[in-house]
Amino acid sequence: MTREKTKGIKHQIVTDDIGCLLAVLVHKANLHDTKTGYWVTGLAIFAYPTLKKICGDGGYHGSFIFEAYKILVCG
């Protein structure tokens, strides 16, 4: 199965440890992951307040780490 790519759009997802979808964010591609990663993190934490840990790939660094920490620890 092939999927056509739509230019100019990014999809960010949060899954649990077995791959079940917890949150989705679709946005313009001109927004960087470190700026928008905490938005989808916030959506997941709002929907699942018992969430304790967030893991991301190398694209999530800098301000994302700080913002995700504030969301997880400070609420």
**pLDDT tens, residue by residue, 44-68:** 988 998 888 888 777 777 777 787 7
Please give the DSSP secondary-structure letter assigned to residue 6: P
**pLDDT tens, residue by residue, 10-35:** 888 999 989 999 999 999 989 887 77
Residue 11: exposure state from Cβ atoms within 10 A (0-12, 13-18, ≥19): exposed
Nearest-angstrom CA–CA distance, 52 and 41: 11
Nearest-angstrom CA–CA distance, 26 and 20: 18
Domain boundaries, the chain: 9-74
Instruction: Look at the pTM and tell me if it is higher than 0.95.
Output: no
